[in-house]
Chains A and B, each alone.
Chain A
Amino acid sequence: MAGGNPASTTEYIQHHLTNLVYGKLPAGYERTTEQGVEVLQADTWTMAHGGQEATDMGFWAIHVDSMIWSIGLGSLFCWMFLRADKKAHTGVPAGWLNFVEMIVEFIDGAVKDSFHGRNKMVAPLALTIFVWVFLMNLMDLLPVDLIPTLLMMAGVEYQKIVPSTDPNITLGMALGVFVLMLYYSFKIKGTGFVKELTMHPFNHWGFIPVNLFMETVGLLAKPFSLGLRLFGNMYAGEMIFILIATMFAAGAGAGFVSGGLHAELFGESTSGYFWLVIFLLVTGVCWLNLKGKVSTGKTVLLCMAFMAIGGGLFALGGGLMQWGWAVFHILVITLQAFIFMVLTVVYLSMAHEDH
């Protein structure tokens, strides 16, 4: 939770941008722990405490949170679609099967539009990319503090729940696509691919180095732009959620009825549990209203009262902004998933085109 002062706000943001990293610290590394500075005697595989250690781990580290969420969401995708597979039949589709078929048909249409080669792998690849990236992006819509805070209570220090805000993830997928591009280019075009790299755009042997340079840059730009585009968009979106959240938390801390009450109860920093109680009270009242036990007028009054006590009117403002950005972000996450998919298909289509 962030307080009002800039230092803790920065801390809050940095905390949100730090992955849970497991990796190798080199021998002789000076590790700052609660017991003081500890010098490692040998190479140590361990969880990083903080961003500095994660950086110092260099290449031999893995973002545990990104990997778990990405694998988890990939499995979720497989499970959801397998469930539809089990129900698949030729009669009138209903419910979940209908939805899955809609997606499959959409992907199939998009692939048929932009991919003209013959390859059984491209359509499933596109489906996987679209749904998987969409699910990864979708994690962005969960309240930024929800899962990190819950996991923090469970003892997990850092947690980034949106895998697509991790360049490793997006570039990993882009490199996967790149490998496929190279594979099919060689498979379909053979030496034609080499020719394409060396005799294009200037068809003269004297220009081979120039051509090779230009074409290689063009080739490498594809996966990098693919990965970085997704990463950039999602990172920026996540950043805005975090920034709104800092305003929201600061506003909540300065709730107008109860600034004094907070200070009385908690001193300098307000405990998160206080807001949790308020949150539960408000949602409880709303729930009772939905069940028909409390009239709507009373519900509004009670909610207003609770939120006034909790400083929640500012929070409500922050929440509305989060909501607004989330609504807008729905477009971004879908669009980015779609763009990643379409570009993959287009690149593979280019790899299949034999001149």
Chain B
Amino acid sequence: MNINLTLFGQMVTFAFFVWFCMKFVWPVIIESMEERQKKIADGLDAADRALRDLELAQNKATDQMKDAKQEAAGIIDQASKRAGQIVDEAKNQARVEGDRLKVAAEAEIEQEINRAKEELRASVAGLALAGAEKVLEASIDEKANRKLVDNLAAQL
């Protein structure tokens, strides 16, 4: 319990350690801590900014999506209209073509009929003559009768 030189020894030691701490220990740690604090604050700021950017981008994307949808709907409308048109046109064309074919077919049929008539006419004269020959069983002047029969055939 004696007060002695230790008192001053401790004062000197105390001063030394405080000086040492102030010079070498404290600044390094506090600086690195402050720097980290700044870094973290910057990081948080950046995160905030990024969040805002994200929101903006999302809004933009939504808008674009809406536009795209509208556009797509327009295109589909147009396309379906166009398709209708095409179908109509095709129908018309088909009808026209059909008519044309029908007309052609009819004409051909007509021709066939006429040719058949001609042939019939041609053969009728012979047949009639042969028939008459048989009927008369006599030789008829072919020339005189020929004219007769030809006239007949022409009337067919």
Residues on A with C-beta less than 8 A from B156 are: none
**CB of B35 within 8 Å of the partner chain:** yes
| Chain B proximity mask over A51-93: 1 for CB below 8 Å, otherwise 0 | 0001101111111001100110010011001101100111101
- Quick check: B7 and A85 within 8 Å, CB to CB? no
- Quick check: A104 and B21 within 8 Å, CB to CB? no
Using a Cβ cutoff of 8 Å, how many contacts connect chains A and B?
130
Residues on A with C-beta less than 8 A from B29 are: 81, 84-85, 88, 100-101, 104
B1-28 CB contacts (< 8 Å) to partner A: 1-11, 13-18, 20-22, 24-26, 28
Given the complex of chains A and B, what is the CA–CA distance between A176 and B11 in angstroms?
5
Knowing A81-B21, A124-B22, A176-B14 touch, does A62 contact B30 (C-beta < 8 A)?
A: no
- Quick check: B5 and A127 within 8 Å, CB to CB? no
Q: Which one of A23, A57, A108, A127 has the highest number of Cβ atoms from chain B below 10 Å of its Cβ?
A: A127
- Quick check: B11 and A175 within 8 Å, CB to CB? yes
- Quick check: A171 and B7 within 8 Å, CB to CB? yes
Residues on A with C-beta less than 8 A from B21 are: 77-78, 81, 124-125, 127-128
| Chain B proximity mask over A105-133: 1 for CB below 8 Å, otherwise 0 | 10010000000000011011101110010
- Quick check: A127 and B26 within 8 Å, CB to CB? yes
Residues on A with C-beta less than 8 A from B15 are: 176
- Quick check: B39 and A90 within 8 Å, CB to CB? yes
Knowing A23-B4, A172-B7, A172-B8 touch, does A74 contact B13 (C-beta < 8 A)?
A: yes
Given the complex of chains A and B, what is the CA–CA distance between A108 and B30 in angstroms?
9
A286 CB to closest chain B CB, in angstroms?
39
8 Å CB contact of B3 from A91, A124, A171: A171
Given the complex of chains A and B, what is the CA–CA distance between A66 and B13 in angstroms?
12
- Quick check: A175 and B26 within 8 Å, CB to CB? no
**CB of B82 within 8 Å of the partner chain:** no
Listed stretches A147-155, A162-170, A306-314; interface member:
A162-170
Chain A residue at minimal CB-CB distance from B25: A81
Q: Is the interface of B mostly helix, strand, loop or mixed?
A: helix
Chain A residue at minimal CB-CB distance from B3: A168
- Quick check: B5 and A23 within 8 Å, CB to CB? yes
8 Å CB contact of A62 from B5, B28, B33: B5
8 Å CB contact of B26 from A21, A91, A124: A124
Knowing A85-B25, A125-B18, A127-B21 touch, does A90 contact B7 (C-beta < 8 A)?
A: no
8 Å CB contact of B22 from A71, A125, A168, A179: A125
Knowing A60-B4, A124-B25 touch, does A90 contact B11 (C-beta < 8 A)?
A: no
Number of B interface residues in the complex (CB < 8 A): 32
Number of A interface residues in the complex (CB < 8 A): 51
- Quick check: A66 and B39 within 8 Å, CB to CB? no
Residues on A with C-beta less than 8 A from B10 are: 66-67, 70, 168-169, 171-173, 176
Q: Which one of B10, B17, B31 has the highest number of Cβ atoms from chain A below 10 Å of its Cβ?
A: B10
Knowing A54-B2, A128-B17 touch, does A62 contact B9 (C-beta < 8 A)?
A: yes
B72-94 CB contacts (< 8 Å) to partner A: none
Knowing A81-B29, A84-B29 touch, does A168 contact B17 (C-beta < 8 A)?
A: no
Given the complex of chains A and B, what is the CA–CA distance between A321 and B25 in angstroms?
39
- Quick check: A121 and B22 within 8 Å, CB to CB? yes
* A–B complex contacts, Cβ < 8 Å, 27 sampled: A21-B2, A21-B4, A57-B2, A58-B4, A66-B10, A67-B9, A67-B13, A70-B13, A71-B13, A74-B13, A74-B17, A81-B21, A84-B29, A90-B39, A101-B29, A104-B30, A105-B33, A123-B26, A127-B25, A128-B14, A128-B18, A167-B1, A168-B3, A168-B4, A168-B9, A175-B11, A179-B11
Known: A66-B6, A74-B17, A90-B35. 4 other contacts (CB 8 A): A57-B4, A70-B13, A127-B25, A176-B14
| Chain B residues close to A by CB (< 8 Å) | 1-11, 13-18, 20-22, 24-26, 28-33, 35-36, 39
Q: What 5 A-B pairs come out closest when comparing CB atoms?
A: A172-B10, A168-B6, A124-B26, A124-B22, A88-B32
| Chain A residues close to B by CB (< 8 Å) | 21, 23, 54-55, 57-63, 66-67, 70-71, 74, 77-78, 81-82, 84-85, 88-91, 93, 100-101, 104-105, 108, 120-121, 123-125, 127-129, 132, 166-169, 171-173, 175-176, 179
